[in-house]
Structure 1
Amino acid sequence: MLIHPWDAGTEDQALAYVKDNQFGHLIAAGRGRDVPVVVPTQFLLVDDRTVWLHLARPNPIWPAIEENPAVLLSVAGPWAYIDGRWRAEPGTDPALGVPTTYYSSVQLTCRAEIVADPEGKLEILRAQLGDLEPGHGDPAAMPRLLSGLQGLRLAVTEIRGKFKYDGHKDAGVREQVARGLTERGGPGDEAALRHLA
């Protein structure tokens, strides 16, 4: 992912974003494949360097991880198309403004460890359920569930965050964009406005 200096987030900003958006795409390249395996998945950021998740046993990602445990977890949030007229420099022809898209994206490069033992899978499930659905019954009482899945522990080795909201533009352009987003009120516009503020 291309990250310009004005779009770069700090590690703390990136981790806060991931904590608030614990759904992404797990990508495993494997070895000698034409394309990587990409799996949309819920996950739990356990701490700054650890992610846990579980997937169904028939998932096609398992062989790719066995071939190569280096994986990428990609998290991207709401996006908003930014009309070129909004980004025109003040005093210039609005038709010459360059359109773009605002968005947040964090990529975690990780080393994956497959968890197949029942106790390890239970630990992951209990942690995920405790975060998402406190008070849910104990997954140990669901043997079919346990036998039908495997867990993953991801050790985070690199964190890259991009928050593309025209951080390099002057206040006049940013105000024009904010007016356009407010007037349009489309999907993703509210999130973009929060970032602009």
Structure 2
Amino acid sequence: MYVPRHFHEEDPERILALMKQHAFATLVTVGEDGAPFATHLPFLVERDASGATRLLAHMARPNPQWRAFAAERDVLVLFQGPHGYVSPTWYATAPQVPTWNYVTVHAYGRPHVLESPDTVLRVLRDTAALYEAGNPEPWRPEAVDDYVRRLMAGIVAFEVRVSRLEGKFKLSQNKGEEDRRGVIAGLERSPLPGDRELAVLMRTREGWTAGG
């Protein structure tokens, strides 16, 4: 990924937070024929006891992508955060041109199929628990345990042990303070949730309060 120095994110906590908050990511592999293949999946983002990051997910067994894991090559997992159009009319200075602000993380690592039924079940339970957390009456796989175990034959669970992370947080860092304030104000006026999330990220990085 091309990352100009202004937009290079090095803070591991910011990167991890982005990955966890936007965990529906894109898994990209390259087949023996050199053609790329992509699948969109919800991931669990974890740190192990050593501090290393690993990604856990599952896909349908008929999906051929998991068979590429046997090639022992790195895969790429793309985490896309909020993004939005930036109008030149929002800047305090001129001339300016339109651009796009966005946040993304690229994770690289070797994938491995998880064979243990208990481990596969743990992935399913943890994934459900994560996305059911806001439900006043969360659905639990244990409630239909036999049914879930039968369905497990139709999926492939896997992990990616991350060897490299690239974070690109393009949040107008190459502009002056008044221009950045203008972009934040423009994003905050937008009806789009992603635009307003970008504004929050920009304020957080600057240490500015909503009124300041």
Q: Hey, what does 1:8 align to over in structure 2?
A: 8
The alpha-carbon deviation at position 171 of structure 1 amounts to 0.8
8 A Cα contact 1:79 1:104, kept in partner:
yes
Q: 1:129 to 1:181 in 2, by over 3 A?
A: closer
Q: Where does structure 2 lack aligned partners over 5 or more consecutive residues?
A: 133-137, 204-212
* Distance in 2 between residues matched to 1:84 and 1:158, nearest whole Å: 35
* Distance in 1 between residues matched to 2:23 and 2:179, nearest whole Å: 32
- Paired residues, what number? 191
* Distance in 2 between residues matched to 1:185 and 1:122, nearest whole Å: 40
* Distance in 2 between residues matched to 1:183 and 1:129, nearest whole Å: 35
Q: Hey, what does 1:146 align to over in structure 2?
A: 152
1:70 equivalent in alignment to 2:71: no
Q: Hey, what does 2:128 align to over in structure 1?
A: 129
The alpha-carbon deviation at position 140 of structure 1 amounts to 4.5
CA RMSD of aligned residues (A): 2.0
Q: Hey, what does 2:46 align to over in structure 1?
A: 46
Which deviates more from structure 2 when the two are superposed, residues 179-188 or residues 74-83? 179-188
Q: Hey, what does 2:206 align to over in structure 1?
A: none
The alpha-carbon deviation at position 32 of structure 1 amounts to 2.6
The alpha-carbon deviation at position 115 of structure 1 amounts to 1.8
Query: Percent same amino acid at aligned positions?
Result: 27
8 A Cα contact 2:190 2:196, kept in partner:
no
Q: Please give the per-residue CA displacement for 1:88-133, whole angstroms capped at 9, x wherever unaligned.
A: x62x3xxx31211111101110110012342332232223223333
1:174 equivalent in alignment to 2:180: yes
Correspondent of 2:60 among 49, 56, 61: 56
Q: Hey, what does 1:25 align to over in structure 2?
A: 26
Q: 1:131 to 1:179 in 2, by over 3 A?
A: closer
3-state DSSP class of the match of 1:188? helix
The alignment's TM-score, normalised by the length of structure 2, stands at 0.81
Q: Please give the per-residue CA displacement for 1:35-85, whole angstroms capped at 9, x wherever unaligned.
A: 311000001012141111111101121222223441111000221101123
3-state DSSP class of the match of 2:189? helix
8 A Cα contact 2:44 2:57, kept in partner:
yes
Which deviates more from structure 2 when the two are superposed, residues 157-166 or residues 55-64? 55-64
Q: Where does structure 1 lack aligned partners over 5 or more consecutive residues?
A: none
Letter in 2 for 1:124: V
The alignment's TM-score, normalised by the length of structure 1, stands at 0.87
